[in-house]
Structure 1
Amino acid sequence: MDHDTNTPEPSSPRRGGPSTSGSGVEAPGTPASAGTTTAGVDATRWLAASSLIGLIVLSVLWELWLAPLRPGGSWWVIKALPLCIPLAGLLRRRMYTYRWVSLLVWFYFIEGVVRAYSDRGMSAALAGIEIVLCLALFTACVMHVWLRLGPRKKVAA
């Protein structure tokens, strides 16, 4: 029986079947194994969510109790509010949220760098923690997007 050469086979990745060519070897251009990718996506999701929660908690504690700019607390605590918005999107694996959080986090990174350089004592240490959390969040967001979309193929010029 002849097969139409334009119709993909049932095991073809274009039809949602396995990404192997039947011999147990992955077809060229397909992501690693689905199990590895799923585990990586889950790991980056939890790293992003925990880093974001850490930034929220750090911001509130920093500006109200640990090292506020003014005794008794500071209005700078409202900087934690924009961080609360993307939490639901990260937990629901919304790709758009991972993309814009990877841009938003740089404002907090810059604040951490400035305060680590200019402040002294507890505030400088908290700024160092903020820097680490920002880098973890950015890395998790970028890796999450990369794992879900896979590497892009180069187009021949």
Structure 2
Amino acid sequence: MPTSPQFYRVLTQLCYWPLLVLVTLWHSLPSSEPASLPTSLSLLFWVLPLLFPLTGLVRGKPYTHAWANFILMLYFLHALTTLWTHPDERVWAALELLFAVGAFIGATGFARYKGRELGLGLKKLKDQD
């Protein structure tokens, strides 16, 4: 695997932006389920969390890349659940899973290697004494 922070930053961007577009399109389409949420509420619930780390991801901040993974796990779990329970939405869910996993790997790699490059990180207990 590459150890260049730039590789992981590009991977994050190549997966994060399509995930944002996919989620927006998917949840703005009318649903065939009779008890579905209103479109505006569905968009608020699914798109808003992706907007929280947006500034830090664009600016290339390692800390933001690290905590954005917690948000990406929501979409990972949603995709897995949808793949299992909604056969008619499997294409959407498979794309969501692909983009969420790619963004997760990219954000993790960028946070790790850029953090090392900047000298950030947790001090080991034996180094504190």
TM-score tier by shorter-chain length is: 0.7 to 0.9
Q: CA deviation at 1:120?
A: 1.6
CA RMSD, Structure 1 to Structure 2 (Å):
2.7
Between 1 and 2, higher relative CO (CA 8 Å, sep ≥ 6) is seen in: 2
Aligned pair count?
A: 116
Q: Does 1:95 align with 2:62?
A: yes
Separation in structure 2 between the aligned mates of residue 76 and residue 113 of structure 1, nearest angstrom: 18
Q: Does 1:47 align with 2:40?
A: no
Give the aligned partner of residue 106 of structure 2.
Answer: 140
TM-score normalised per structure 2 = 0.75
Which residue type is aligned with residue 68 of structure 1? S
TM-score normalised per structure 1 = 0.63
Structure 1: tracts of 5 or more residues without a match: 1-35
Give the aligned partner of residue 3 of structure 1.
Answer: none
Q: Which runs of 4+ in 1 moved over 4 A?
A: 151-156
**Contact in 2 for aligned 1:52/1:87 (Cα 8 Å):** no
Q: Higher helix share goes to which structure?
A: 2
2:31 to 55, 62, 68: 68
Separation in structure 1 between the aligned mates of residue 20 and residue 62 of structure 2, nearest angstrom: 21
Q: CA deviation at 1:43?
A: 2.2
Q: CA deviation at 1:69?
A: 5.3
Q: CA deviation at 1:70?
A: 4.8
2:81 to 114, 124, 128: 114
